[in-house]
Amino acid sequence: MKMVIAIVQDHDSQRLSDRLTKNNFRSTKLASTGGFLRAGNTTFLCGLEDDRVDELLKVIDDTCGNREQTVAPVTPMGGNADSYIPYPVEVEVGGATVFVLPIEQFERF
């Protein structure tokens, strides 16, 4: 058994949730916040059999694509302003950060 933890941007959350359901993956959705952009994320927790991990990773990869986004800089507060960029910049957002963990025991009640 494995526990897959997938952190995706909110923009991709509903599409991924629909695709997981369509492909018969059970998941728990948690609201989370990213550190760099301070934007909303969604964290999916999926417990599944070892032989379905690659299938799940493909669904996540196909659903959560990278894209460019213009972001306004966050003003430094009390820190070093040497690296502060005072104008909007293009950054790559999206995709997914995925952790696959071994599970010793898995129960569904």
- CATH fold of 2-72+87-102, please? Alpha-Beta Plaits (3.30.70)
Answer with the residue of higher pLDDT: 12 or 74.
12
With a CB cutoff of 8 Å and minimum separation 6, the contacts of 92 are 66, 67, 68, 69
Per-residue pLDDT tens digits for 3-51 = 999 999 888 899 999 999 999 999 999 998 876 556 678 999 999 999 9
pLDDT at 38: 63
Q: Which of 39-43, 67-71, 97-101 shows the lowest per-residue confidence on average (mean pLDDT)?
A: 67-71
Which amino acid is located at 65 in the chain? G
pTM above 0.95, yes or no: no
